[in-house]
Amino acid sequence: MPHVAADVLVSPLGARRVAVGDPSPVRHHRFVSDSKDKEPEVLFVGDSLVQLLHQFEIWRELFSPLHALNFGMGGDCTQHVLWRLQNGELDHINPKIIVLWVGTNNHGDTAEQVAEGIGAIVKLIHSKQPTARVLILGLLPRGKSPNALRVKNARVNQLVQEALPSLPGASFLDVDPGFVHSDGTISHHDMYDYLHLTRAGYATVCQPIHTRLLAMLEQHKI
């Protein structure tokens, strides 16, 4: 197992997920089982923004043709994703690209801690899948009106981009098309609860992801 900061490995949040018997372990084991029968070229990993994407037609239009697999889990923080990847979800597949979208649920952590958690995940991926490229998606703004979580998410994005030289095989993509209007608000037409994306919101976000993935897959052939 690669060396990762101890506070990330033994996070009480991660431990509680397995201990209390909520549905998440069942979903994790399903991911591990599914991975034994699949040969994805692209793997999406993250929280509910990844999980819910699978329910929209745009997943089938843009990402299914890329042989993509979706390991999104609602409520996940960085430590949950780290635990899942340490415990089997990467053991039976060899994707060319892993798309990572997580961090907005880390309410109790500072921007620095969230960025460090994302970095720990990238380094773990590299240790298990050294030939895979990692595409880190930027955290989106959230909340109907300006708030501290928006500020923190923007800071996380900045810190992750600054850390890229130390993150092997990783690149960053800002997927915010401008959800915050000139008056500082976010429309429920883009985020129905000012966090999760609507069909229109996903359509806007997914196009640049698809474009980047096509370019990365083409580069992988060279």
Active site residues: 48, 193, 196
Are the C-beta atoms of 160 and 123 separated by less than 8 Å? no
Nearest CA-CA partner of 97 in 59, 43, 60, 54: 43
Q: Which long-range contacts (CB under 8 A, 24 or more apart) does 23-32 make?
A: 24/73, 24/75, 24/80, 27/73, 28/73, 28/84, 28/87, 28/88, 28/89, 31/71, 31/84, 31/88, 31/89, 32/87, 32/88, 32/89, 32/91, 32/92
Nearest CA-CA partner of 115 in 77, 76, 74: 77
Helices (H) and strands (E) in the chain, counts: 9, 5
DSSP, residue by residue, 24-47: HHHHHHHHHHHHTT---SEEEEES
- The pair of structure tokens assigned to 211 is 């474009």
Amino acid at 134: V
Nearest CA-CA partner of 24 in 84, 82, 70: 84
Residue tagged 């429920």 (tokens):
188
